[in-house]
Chains A and B, each alone.
Chain A
Amino acid sequence: MVSVKMHPCVLSVLLLNVFCSFVSSLYFHIGETEKKCFIEEIPDETMIIGNYRTQLYDKQAEEYLPATQGLGMFVEVKDPDDKVILSRQYGSEGRFTFTSHTPGEHQICLHSNSSKFSLFAGGMLRVHLDIQVGEHANNYAEIAAKDKLTELQLRVRQLVEQVDQIQKEQNYQRYREERFRQTSESTNQRVLWWSIVQTLILVAIGIWQMRHLKSFFEAKKLV
């Protein structure tokens, strides 16, 4: 068992990182039965880490306080083929992680698991959300401590991760471009064929109309 002797500064930084990374982040209000969905368009083999924290409006204190233990959030993640890849309930504070296996638009949906309509007391639930994608999801302080890297080695490791992510994104770009090209060519084909077919139908109907009417008038002895 190797004991890691950490510089006290690094240790406190690590601890601070754990807290700081979630002290302040973007928040929004969600109703009791409301479902909020976010879309992440990512290449394959990309990790996403999401952190959320909830607060409920307390009428007595007239401010937002951390939600009670019973109140949880249901997190559902769907992949581009609409298949559910993560569907779990977390507490009032949670952290969810998933890795994409197909490139495309993934949908992350959150809704509260409250079944009693009066739990929110007519107010809204405040949800602090933080979603980190790909290279940003890495905790470098942790990596440095685990592999005992110097600053330069850590920086190079970060560069490698960044370049990796850029390459994955470019591959995905090529795949999307192909889909776009297929759609455009499809449209082009369709416009061409339908124009020709419609013109032929127009001519055919015109000829049929004249022939039919001519035979009709001949039968009526008007022509």
Chain B
Amino acid sequence: MRALVLVVFGVFGTELTFELPDNDKQCFYEELEKDVRFDIDFQVISGGNYDVDCFVTDPQNNVLYNERKKQYDSFSHTTAMKGDYKVCFSNEFSTFTHKTVYMEFRYGDEVPLMPITRSTALTQLESSCVSIHEILKVVADSQTRYRLREAHDRTKAEHLLERVTYWSFGQTVMLFVIGISQVMLLRSFFTEKKGSVAATT
């Protein structure tokens, strides 16, 4: 019976990467019991200034967390009541850039792999397996962080390349246009009135 209870309060977590169009707001809700600890991590991967507004409210609409224009942050809270908790991301301050936001919502504790109906303590082998499992979770977690960071930097670099290309091309065209039009303009000063001395710059 105790084993069943252990499984019911299992670990749940969702990580989602979604696109937030300009002037839009996206909200996610989660039904939580009382006295459950939850963690929210978010990071903006691409778009504009790489920032987003985020706020978290409890079932009674009290604001638990409210930050504007954040690039990444982490928020933890232990629920005081049962109900639907809401986390919202807003890009309403942006007029034409859409953002890509990564969000992770974790709550609960780690669930045992199998129902533990044991009365003895863990053997050394079993406990070292458990520690390896915990360390690997940390490794996987830091890989995710690194992947997001890399995606962010790569997006910036690709954006930079694009801008360099367009501006170079544009500037070359402008060079030609201005060079030729200067000469044309100067010629036009002298061809209208024959023999008059035009002011030289």
- Minimal Cβ-Cβ distance residue in B for A184: B157
Contact present for B176 and A26 (CB under 8 Å): no
A71 close to chain B: CB less than 8 A: no
Which residues of chain A (130-156) have a CB below 8 Å from chain B?
130-131, 133, 135, 140-141, 144, 151-152, 154-156
Taking CB atoms, residues of chain B closer than 8 Å to A176 are 147, 150-151, 154
B171 close to chain A: CB less than 8 A: yes
Shortest distance between the CB of B54 and any CB in chain A (Å) = 15
Shortest distance between the CB of A72 and any CB in chain B (Å) = 22
B121 close to chain A: CB less than 8 A: no
Contact present for A9 and B3 (CB under 8 Å): yes
B199 close to chain A: CB less than 8 A: no
Partner of A41, one of B14, B130, B147: B147
A187 close to chain B: CB less than 8 A: yes
Beyond A25-B12, A158-B133, is A202–B175 a contact (Cβ under 8 Å)?
yes
B64 close to chain A: CB less than 8 A: no
- Minimal Cβ-Cβ distance residue in A for B129: A155
A170 close to chain B: CB less than 8 A: yes
Shortest distance between the CB of A12 and any CB in chain B (Å) = 6
Taking CB atoms, residues of chain B closer than 8 Å to A217 are 190
- A182-196: CB near B (< 8 Å → 1, else 0) gives 011011001100100
- Docked pose: A184 CA to B160 CA in angstroms: 9
Shortest distance between the CB of A34 and any CB in chain B (Å) = 11
Contact present for B113 and A140 (CB under 8 Å): yes
Chain A residues at the B interface, C-beta cutoff of 8 Å: 9-10, 12-13, 16-17, 20, 24-29, 36-41, 129-131, 133, 135, 140-141, 144, 151-152, 154-156, 158-159, 162-163, 165-166, 169-170, 173, 176-177, 179-180, 183-184, 186-187, 190-191, 194, 197-198, 201-202, 205-206, 208-209, 212-213, 216-217, 220, 222
Chain B residues at the A interface, C-beta cutoff of 8 Å: 3-4, 7-8, 10, 12, 14-19, 26-32, 100, 105, 113-117, 125-126, 129-130, 132-133, 136-137, 139-140, 143, 146-147, 150-151, 153-154, 157-158, 160-161, 164-165, 168, 171-172, 175-176, 179, 182-183, 186-187, 190, 197
Q: List 23 contacting pairs A-B, 8 Å CB cutoff, sorted by A.
A: A10-B115, A20-B7, A28-B29, A29-B27, A37-B19, A129-B16, A131-B15, A141-B114, A144-B113, A151-B113, A151-B114, A151-B116, A152-B129, A154-B113, A162-B140, A166-B143, A173-B147, A176-B147, A177-B150, A183-B157, A190-B161, A191-B164, A209-B183
